[in-house]
C-alpha cells in the first residue's frame, strides 16, 4: 500500500442475516454508507421492520423475509450472520430453533 494514495475498494454485494435486528440494522446502514449493495435477510422473529424502515427506499438496499434455517441461494461477496435470538427470553422459547439458526444459518 502506498502512503498518500487512498485505497479504493470496489463495492460488494453483502448479505446480512438478522439485518432487521438492532445490530444488523446498524451494520446495514454502515455498509450502505460505505457504498456496498446490501441484501438484508430476516424472519422478524426478534427483528423489526421499524429498524430498517429508513433504508427501504435506498437504491442499494434489498430486504427479504426468510428463515436462515432453510437454504437460500443468492450470489453475494460476503455474509454476516447475525440471525440468532440474543436474549434469554427469545432463545429459551425455542432452544432447538435457536441452535439451528446459529448452526445452519
CA distances, 15 to each of 30, 37, 69 (Å): 13, 9, 15
- Write the DSSP symbol of residue 29: H
| Domains of the chain, start order | 13-81 (3.40.50.720)
Does the model's pTM come out above 0.85?
A: no
Residue among 39, 35, 13 at smallest CA distance from 24? 39
- 63-91 per-position pLDDT tens digit: 999 998 899 999 999 999 998 766 666 56
Task: Name which of 23, 20, 55 is nearest 40 in CA terms.
Answer: 20
Amino acid at each position: 500500500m502506498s502512503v498518500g494514495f487512498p485505497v479504493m475498494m470496489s463495492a460488494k454485494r453483502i448479505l446480512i442475516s438478522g439485518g432487521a435486528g438492532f445490530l444488523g440494522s446498524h451494520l446495514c446502514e454502515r455498509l450502505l454508507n460505505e457504498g456496498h449493495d446490501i441484501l438484508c435477510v430476516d424472519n422478524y422473529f426478534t427483528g423489526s421492520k421499524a429498524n430498517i424502515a429508513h433504508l427501504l427506499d435506498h437504491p442499494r438496499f434489498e430486504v427479504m423475509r426468510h428463515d436462515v434455517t432453510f437454504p437460500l441461494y443468492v450470489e453475494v461477496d460476503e455474509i454476516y450472520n447475525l440471525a440468532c435470538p440474543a436474549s434469554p427470553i427469545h432463545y429459551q422459547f425455542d432452544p432447538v430453533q435457536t441452535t439451528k439458526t446459529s448452526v445452519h444459518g
